[in-house]
A and B are shown apart, each in its own frame.
Chain A
Amino acid sequence: MDLFSPANKPEIRIQELTGERIRFILTNTDLSMANALRRIMISEVATIAIDMVQFDLNTSVLADEFIAHRLGLIPLDSTEADKIKYPRDCNCSGACKECSVELNLHVKCTEEDTTKDVTSKDLVSHDPRFTPITEGPKDAGILIAKLRKGQEIKVKCIAKKGVAKEHAKWSPCAAVAFEYDPFNKLRHTHYWIEEDEKKEWPQSKNANDDFPPLDDEIFDFTAKPNRFYFEIETIGSMKPEDIVMNAFKKLLEKISSIQMGLHSNDVPINGREPTRDVF
């Protein structure tokens, strides 16, 4: 098949871009490509998150593993996550500067009649590139625990690079909304109704950017979806446009590595001729 004729080139149109969300329309490509992009943004874009916690002291009412779990879920600025190695690719035995970031937390409550909040702002990072995210000076931070007088938490955290396929804490996305064919012209879904479909199923906002069916339009059973609506909301660790860019990069890397795997297979299999000549 012709890769893409000039009139049929894939296209991306950005509709909205803010600090924490992006809305775009992907056109003239197929469902598998749109879905691959969606899946990679959710689970294969690398970020930094706390992965190991060493407890030196914990006299709070919360159990160690409970606090460790909460620390893992705190978003760390991951804009420069590509500058750090995956632990498995590093030559060190445990954790070093090239594959990890150390963060320390030491809070003690000395107040008499009130509790003390332990928040993500109390985490002190050894690397200024990877710090817990904040929304300006007024941001109170993310609450981790509350301490009464005399209680104390002292921990050492090791943050590492990872992907959400392994643990959801590494996902840069809070949500990825994905839709195609808002008018259901392709009949990929069936609306359950009481009486009137139009009354009971309100139109999605993407319908404004799509083409409504004509009143006498006949069903085209050969039609394929080719217009995809995305809306990505970040958790704050990465800019939304960077998530999309990194997803494209990751997708290219994945295809290339399969390509390499295919080419390294150019040896006779079961006595058959190598297939090198055909491409």
Chain B
Amino acid sequence: MKITPDTKVQNAATFEIFREDHTMGNVIRHKLLQEPQVIFAGYKIPHPLEHNVIIRVQTTNETKPEAMVAKALNDLITEVGYLRTKFMVHK
């Protein structure tokens, strides 16, 4: 992953994730947007032949984009882990 802080906007950064696509891009963006400290979250796949996804995040002054992405990923692990155990019990 490559993190590039925005040179003009405070508390903003882009996260380039290699070898990922809409699956992870959309799911991370969605989780970020549920946080009140996140002002902006969006993702794009700049070119169909390059297998990277870029996520842009801007947060309030209370926190940092890196921290919010880390939280989003943590929450995702909890949610997927929870669903997985639910499915295991039910089948």
Contacts and interface: CB of A to CB of B under 8 A. Distances in A.
Interface of A: 1, 3-4, 9-14, 17, 24, 26, 29-33, 35-36, 39-40, 44, 241, 244-245, 248-249, 251-252, 254-256, 258-259, 261-265, 269-270, 272, 275, 278-279
B86 interface: yes
Interface string B34-69: 111000000000000000000000000001101101
Interface string B18-31: 10101110111111
Contacts of A14: 87, 90-91
Q: State the majority secondary structure of interface residues on B.
A: helix
A40 B23 contact: yes
Interface in B1-27: 1-5, 15, 17-18, 20, 22-24, 26-27
Given A35-B26, A262-B69, A254 B20 contact: yes
**Max chain B CB contacts within 10 Å: which of A24, A249, A251?**
A251
Contacts of B71: 279
B70 A259 contact: yes
Q: Which 9 A-B pairs have the closest CB atoms?
A: A261-B1, A32-B30, A248-B84, A278-B67, A275-B66, A32-B27, A36-B27, A39-B23, A1-B34
**Max chain A CB contacts within 10 Å: which of B23, B28, B31, B75?**
B23
Given A4-B79, A252-B77, A278-B64, 15 more contacts: A29-B83, A32-B27, A36-B26, A245-B88, A248-B87, A251-B80, A252-B81, A255-B77, A258-B24, A264-B1, A275-B66, A278-B66, A278-B67, A279-B67, A279-B71
B75 to A, nearest CB: 6
Contact of B86 (A11, A33, A251, A265): A11
6 contacts: A33-B27, A36-B27, A252-B80, A255-B73, A259-B70, A278-B66
A10 B79 contact: yes
A146 to B, nearest CB: 40
A167 to B, nearest CB: 15
Contacts of B73: 255, 258-259, 262
Interface of B: 1-5, 15, 17-18, 20, 22-24, 26-31, 34-36, 63-64, 66-67, 69-71, 73-84, 86-88, 90-91
B64 to A, nearest CB: 5
Nearest to A4: B79
Given A10-B82, A269-B4, A272-B5, A254 B23 contact: yes
Nearest to A274: B66
A3 B75 contact: yes
Contacts of B82: 4, 9-10
Contacts of B79: 3-4, 10, 29, 33
B84 A252 contact: yes
Contacts of B2: 265
A91 B63 CA distance: 44
Contacts of A17: 91
A261 B17 contact: yes
A248 B17 CA distance: 20
A254 B24 contact: yes
